Each structure stands twice: as structure tokens, then as C-alpha cells.
């Protein structure tokens, strides 16, 4: 999901819009405020928990009052306030359905626990929050956890919304920090990012290639970028950077399952790298880690052009299937195939039959010849991606999500040296990165 999604009166959502990454929460939500399970984006939730924990160190007890609301729930909320405070006042205070940030799952209305008397909990809510010491602490520190005060005083001309002291919005640590330093709203930041982004797109695109964990002949552990990946990008007048993993460990000392899960601070390090890229390549290799999955998810959520090659395509497939509720995803060995899919030497190994797709339109061919260097295949993708190319033994070879991301099971970076089809494939991908 795009953490910077802009929702306001001029940028409406669809009625059936349901954001990805929603989870139900109930462990810290106080029953005096709500009496049902809330939903919220899992990443926003994790960061709020951190902020809630740190606020308590200073004697401030903050809790979630409201989070995700569907279109129907926003309609009900508006109707409730119309009955309570009248139509004109409600229309000032409550966002119209389709214009509410709550439908993104990234917005939180928080409240402050002031006191408990005879088991009765007293909360500070509404306009009284502006000058409360707990609110002031939140406003001064929420950027450290990826949140902004979404509707501050003096910014109605930008937001179109009356100031709300309770409404914070998750955008990510990097972006929230910039907005805090510049004292700007999401609308202002959105315009700044678009201006810079368009300027960058008119120049040389910067394409990140996920670094692979390897050991040299001298037994040194390194994070490397294959030369053929680099060559095929720079040949098309683009810049290459290696996307480095963020954890303080030697990856070759662990199997992927043994590597500790990414911390929020480590995800922020990745965000700092990825937010500057115009395109991302997940290259081939022998194993992937959680940081590969995070890079893949980030590209998909931010609609950054993404190309997965061999193992990279398998990573995309894993992430895609996971989003559709298939956590036990696995790859399949090619041993039952009548094609030897792992051949280092030959320039061409087998055919790929293309279905109606952008790649077929680009190459203007139904069947192409490819090399093959993999021992495993993905089975089928199940969520946003669909398979549009198969080898003659039925193994998926080309997947696409209908937007800016695709994966191929062969190695076009090698074939671009001698094959016109794969030269076009790489050239087309780099052009997409130009915007």
C-alpha cells in the first residue's frame, strides 16, 4: 500500500476501495471509547504501539479512538453526527464518504486517558486536546514513528479540513520527518514530491538492483551486483545503485529462516534507499531474505517499476501469494519436467508461449526462445499477478500485475547481449522507469 496516498475532497476513493494490510486489533483499545474490534494497517499499528509505549515513559497514556472505516461505516459516522450536531456543523467536522482518510486504514483518531476514578475512566477528546501536554508530546514526536498531525491549525487552505487535534496519519518515518522539519501538510508535500519526481524523470533514471549475498574465492562475504545486470541498464542510459540489506549481521552466517525479522528502524533504512529510486530489479540468485520481500512489497505499494528475474520472479510470486492469504507458499523442483531448465552454456534452451500481454505486444510474437538457469519454478500466482507466459512443459515463465511490475523466469540481462527480443525487454523496462 502507498503510505503517501492522498485523500481529500479533490482526491476521492472508490466505494469498493479496501486497502491492503488491514488487521483487526483489540489488545490496547479502551472499551470506554469503542466496544468493537478496530481495523488498521499493520505497519501503522506497529508504529503506534511504539509511540504509545514511549509516551507512557513521560506519563502520557494515549489510545486509539478510531481507525479504519469502510465507505459504509463513514456514511454511518456522518449520519450520526448530523443527528447529533446538525447538518451544517457535521459537514464541517466529518469528512464526506470517499474523502475520508480513515478508508485508507492509515489514519488514527487518538484520545488521552486523563484519570481513573472508581473504575471510571476519563478521557480527553475533542478540542480540549489542543493544549494538553500529552497531545503536545504527540505533535512534537509523532514523526519519529512515521505519523503527522494531519489537520493542523493554520493549514485549512491546503487541507480543506478544519483543524483536528486528534487526527494523526501514518506516512512513514522518512516522509513524516521531512514534513515536520518543513512544517508542511501532506498536500504541500505531495506537490513538492511531484515536482521533484517529474524533474528527475526527465533526466537519467536511477534503478536499484537488490544486492545478492555471495562469498568470494578468497572466502570474503560480500553483497554484489552482477555485471550483466548493470551493463544492460547503463546501456540504456540509466544509473545503477545496489540496494543493500539494512541489518547489522553477516548474511552468509545464517540461512534465510534464521535471519532476525526486520525492525522498524531497519525498514526505515530500506525506505530511505527505495524512496529515491525510479525502478527496481530483483535479480536471480540462489536464496532470498526478508529484505528482498520488503523491497518487492515497497515497489508494488508505491507503483515503482519492478522487474523480477529468475529468483526475483519467485520472490514476487511469494509476496503476491502471501497477500492472498497463502503463507505456506513454496517453489517446485523441475525434476518432473522433460526440459532441462538448468543449463549454463546454451544461448537458447526452450520456447515460451506468450498470452495476450504487454510483452507479447512489445515483441509482436506468440512464441520466443529463452535461456534457462533455474532448478525450481513458482507454480501459479494467486493475487494481483497473472501468468502470461509458459514453457512447453507448463512451467510459468512470465507474470505481470497489469501495472508496472512483471517477472520472467529466464535471464534477459544475459540474452540482451545477443537476442533482440530481450534487448527490447530491458529497454522497455528502463523506459518505464523514466516515467
Catalogue the active-site residues: 164
How far is Cα 340 from Cα 425, in angstroms, rounded to an integer? 24
CB atoms within 10 A of CB 252: 13
Burial pattern 298-311, b for ≥16 Cβ within 10 A else e, equals bbbbbebbbbbbbb
DSSP codes of every residue in 77-118: HHHHHHHHH-HHHHHHHSPPTTS-GGGGT-EEEEEEEEEEET
Q: Measured between alpha carbons, how far is residue 148 from residues 141, 143, 296 in Å?
A: 9, 6, 26
Q: What is the DSSP string of 252-315?
A: GGS-TTTSPPPPHHHHHHHHHHHTT-SEEEE---S---HHHHHHHHHHHHTT--EEEETHHHHH
Contact 313, 320 (CB under 8 A): no
Q: How far apart are CA 312 and CA 411, in angstroms?
A: 10
Nearest Cα residue to 270 out of 228, 226, 330, 208: 208
Amino acid at each position: 500500500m502507498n503510505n503517501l496516498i492522498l485523500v481529500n475532497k479533490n482526491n476521492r476513493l472508490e466505494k469498493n476501495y479496501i486497502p491492503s494490510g488491514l488487521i483487526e486489533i483489540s489488545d490496547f483499545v479502551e472499551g470506554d471509547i469503542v466496544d468493537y474490534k478496530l481495523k488498521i494497517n499493520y505497519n501503522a499499528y506497529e508504529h503506534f504501539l511504539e509511540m504509545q509505549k514511549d509516551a507512557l515513559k513521560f506519563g502520557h497514556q494515549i489510545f486509539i479512538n478510531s481507525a479504519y472505516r469502510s465507505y459504509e461505516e463513514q456514511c454511518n459516522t456522518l449520519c450520526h453526527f448530523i443527528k447529533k450536531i446538525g447538518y451544517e456543523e457535521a459537514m464541517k467536522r466529518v469528512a464526506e464518504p470517499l474523502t475520508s482518510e480513515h478508508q485508507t486504514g492509515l489514519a488514527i483518531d487518538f484520545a488521552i486517558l486523563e484519570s481513573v476514578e472508581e473504575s471510571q475512566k476519563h478521557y480527553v477528546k475533542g478540542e480540549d486536546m489542543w493544549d494538553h501536554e500529552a497531545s503536545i508530546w504527540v505533535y512534537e514526536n509523532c514523526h519519529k514513528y512515521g505519523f503527522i498531525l494531519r489537520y493542523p491549525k493554520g493549514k485549512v487552505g491546503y487541507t480543506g479540513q478544519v483543524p483536528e487535534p486528534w487526527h494523526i496519519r501514518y506516512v512513514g518515518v522518512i516522509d513524516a520527518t521531512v514534513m515536520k522539519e518543513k512544517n508542511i501538510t501532506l498536500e504541500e508535500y505531495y506537490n513538492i514530491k511531484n515536482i521533484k519526481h517529474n524533474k528527475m524523470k526527465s533526466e537519467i533514471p536511477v534503478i536499484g538492483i537488490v544486492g545478492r549475498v555471495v562469498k568470494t574465492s578468497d572466502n570474503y562475504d560480500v553483497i554484489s551486483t552482477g555485471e550483466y545486470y548493470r551493463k544492460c541498464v547503463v546501456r540504456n542510459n540509466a544509473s545503477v545503485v545496489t540496494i543493500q540489506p539494512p541489518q547489522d549481521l553477516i548474511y552468509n552466517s545464517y540461512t534465510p529462516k534464521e535471519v532476525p525479522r526486520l525492525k522498524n528502524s531497519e525498514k526505515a533504512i530500506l525506505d530511505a534507499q527505495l524512496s529515491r529510486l525510479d525502478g527496481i530489479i530483483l535479480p536471480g540468485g540462489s536464496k532470498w531474505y526478508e529484505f528482498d520481500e520488503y523491497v518487492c512489497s515497497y515497489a508494488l505499494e508505491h507503483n515503482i517499476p519492478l522487474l523480477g528475474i529468475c529468483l526475483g520472479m519467485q520472490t514476487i510470486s511469494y509476496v503476491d501469494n502471501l497477500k492472498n492469504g497463502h503463507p505456506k507458499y513454496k517453489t517446485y523442483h523441475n525434476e518432473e519436467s522433460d526440459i532441462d531448465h538448468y543449463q549454463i552454456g546454451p544461448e537458447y534452451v526452450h520456447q515460451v508461449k506468450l498470452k495476450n500481454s504487454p510483452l507479447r505486444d512489445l515483441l509482436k510474437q506468440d512464441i520466443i526462445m529463452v535461456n534457462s538457469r533455474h532448478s525450481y519454478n513458482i507454480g501459479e500466482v494467486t493475487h494481483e499477478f497473472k501468468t502470461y507466459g509458459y514453457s512447453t512443459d507448463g512451467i510459468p515463465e512470465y507474470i505481470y500485475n497489469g501495472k508496472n511490475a512483471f517477472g520472467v523466469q529466464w535471464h534477459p540481462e544475459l540474452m540482451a547481449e545477443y537476442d533482440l527480443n530481450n534487448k527490447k525487454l530491458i529497454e522497455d523496462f528502463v523506459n518505464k522507469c523514466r516515467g
